[in-house]
Amino acid sequence: MKLTRADLWSLEEYAEQRETFRAQVIAHKKNRQVLLGPHATLYFEDALTMKYQVQEMLRVERIFTRAEIEEELAAYNPLIPDGANWKATFMIEYPDVEERRVALAKLPGVEHKVWVRVGQGERIFAVANEDLERSTDDKAAAVHFLRFELDNAAQQAAKAGDTVHMGIDHPDLPYEITVSPSISQSLAGDLSA
């Protein structure tokens, strides 16, 4: 499902709905976040999380014209899964600025080493940053947008409740985790198979 202007509230309506909607989104996001060690997190997006992002951008920027709203929708709609994939914001997080700078210098290409696996299936590596390249040969960016394309077997396995594993195969940030059932169930809801 892609968002349209009809899915959005006006600025006035959003001001009335914001507190309740924000609480709903925060609760929803708890089952869409996967920690990949102490310094990396996948935040899985969907129509609800993107509606929140768009509404917040419209509010902060005071956007209300049709053309500007359409621009925001065009920017955020590609982050909504289309039924055969999972889409996530991948963040590399270090609270100390210098520690982050040193770490990112060791992680070029890390965004291409993030993977998911459903059940006993093969690892599915992320397609990263389709909008623009964020990393260089010298360092990784701290934020990446990832897409995991699941074949029909992986989709069906996820929908059937098979265990989901995620990880990073980069030598300077290796990690593997079995995803909690509540997160696996939430992500399975993104799939149409």
pLDDT tens-digit series, residues 99-146: 999 999 999 999 999 999 999 999 999 999 876 666 666 788 899 999
Residue pointed to by tokens 């509606």: 51
Say whether domain 34-45+82-193 belongs to CATH 1.10.3210. no
Q: Where are the domains of the chain?
A: 1-30+47-80, 34-45+82-193
- Torsion sign over Cα 131, 137, 143, 149: positive
Helices first, then strands: H and E counts in the chain: 6, 9
* Beta bridge partner(s), residue 167: 115, 176
Q: Which tens digits make up the pLDDT trace of 52-80?
A: 999 999 999 999 999 999 999 999 999 99
Contacts with 23 (C-beta within 8 Å, 6 or more apart), sequence order: none
